[in-house]
Amino acid sequence: MEETNRLWTKGFILDTLVNFLIYIIYYMLMVIIASEAMTDLHASLSEAGLASGIFILGTLLARIFAGRSVELYGRKRMLYAGIVFYLITTFMYFGIHSLWMLYLVRCLNGIGYGIASTATSTIVSAMIPAARRGEGINYYALSMSLAAAIGPFIGMVLQQMISFQYIIWFCIAMIAVCLLSVFVMDVREMELTPEHRAELEEFHIANFLEPKVAAISVVAFFVAVCYSSVLSFLASYAAALQLMTAGTLFFVVYALTITLARPVAGVLFDRKGEDFVMYPTYVCLAVGLLILSITTQSWMLLLAGVFVGLGYGTFMSNGQAICVKLVREVRIGVAVSTYFVALDLGLGVGPYLLGALQDTVGFSGIYGICGVAAAGCALLYYLLYARRRDAAGEEEMLEENISVLESDAEV
């Protein structure tokens, strides 16, 4: 039993490392690509912004198709394919001589990132023992939050020290480490029955977007829209308040909070249930955004970082744990990709929706609106997910999963 519930296996550690490096590259390039476009290709601010954002379009396209493909063609094989494509498209940065070429490369690079990150999330979700699912996914998700803090910092430091070409070589070296890690990684593959294979090969929407996780994915979309206000406008807001130093430290505080909170949240998820963890995430995110709306001093900005970390950072990983809990193992890839499509879409759409309000209500008003909306996500979670789960009975919803686990144990 102890061996069955073992979490820190070689596969878990290597998959988490690969995911960390994939996300480091993503965040490194995301923060410097706009300025490189303006400097080297003489792009306008809006054109440079498109160079950053079009990456997400490629990621969304990849996630929609990758979830099904990961199970259909093999988890390790798809991880290889994603990393190799990520490597090839990263090499393509050396040949960019126009904005349109940059847009194409960024979109293709996003596809490689989307395939690889979907595969790593599927692989880790399948290898974590069911009794430690919340704990395991929260530890794994630290790779994303730490990359979100470290990646932009590394990118900005390297941009001041070396040329863009050398930064790309550094990214290529990290991708090479990913390939070596995958080579020695033990991956639990899904043995598809003829019925399962036929089900996945059918071309219908349920094989690209998992219906069973639709409710939590809708909630994730709105939570991500709220959080996008932080990603998109915090730097400008901090500058307007003349709190640039605190604005720089905001994401450091955010990352440290997540690092401390996620392991605890994972254990509580497993022992107390998802509601015990999920409802406080909406409250914390709402409090953090409302503090931002009234911020006048550095300590208030940093305190907001703590609450936003407890809110969005904890929601993201535990929402993934719920998705894995709701589906059969053969559907994990589709479920995980559906969830991250919703998150990515919210982060992509949010800045456009909220940016339109800036002239009317200002940054403070945007954060106030998002704070109220984040609190409203708790009600949305109850109406769309928790109430229906309780009405149907959690045991009935999980009956198929339990029978699969029992058959695996017998084998």
Question: Which pLDDT does position 178 carry in this prediction?
Answer: 95
Instruction: Read off the pLDDT of residues 133-168 as tens digits, 9 standing for 90 and up.
Output: 788 888 888 888 788 778 877 887 888 888 889 999
Q: What's the pLDDT score for residue 405?
A: 47
Residue 408: per-residue pLDDT: 46
Tell me the three state secondary structure of residue 6. Answer: coil
Mark 379-390 as b/e (b = at least 16 C-beta within 10 Å).
ebbbebbbeebe
Reading phi first (left if > 0) and then psi (alpha if -120 to 50, else beta), residue 273 is in left
pLDDT tens digits, one per residue of 320-334:
889 888 888 778 878
| Residue 403: CB atoms within 10 Å | 11
What is the sign of the dihedral through the CA atoms of 134, 137, 139 and 142? negative
Asked if CATH classification 1.20.1250.20 holds for the domain at 209-411, the reply, yes or no, is yes
Residue 401 has pLDDT above 60, yes or no: no
Least confident window among 68-82, 135-149, 189-203, 217-231: 189-203
**Are the C-beta atoms of 252 and 310 separated by less than 8 Å?**
no
pTM: 0.77
- What percent of the chain stands above pLDDT 70? 91
Considering the four listed CATH numbers 3.30.465.10, 1.20.1250.20, 1.10.540.10, 3.40.50.720, the one that applies to the domain covering 1-202 is 1.20.1250.20
Task: CATH 1.20.1250.20 in the chain: give the residue spans.
Answer: 1-202, 209-411
Say which residue the tokens 């400008």 belong to: 236
Q: How far apart are CA 88 and CA 37, in angstroms?
A: 20
User: What digits encode the pLDDT tens for the residues 78-103?
Assistant: 999 999 999 999 999 999 888 899 99
Q: Is the pLDDT of residue 5 over 50?
A: yes
Indicate whether 126 pLDDT > 90. Answer: no
Q: What is the mean pLDDT of the chain?
A: 85
pLDDT attached to residue 411: 41
**145-182 as b/e: b if 16+ CB within 10 A:** bbbbbbbbbbbeebbeeeebeebbebbbebbeebeebb
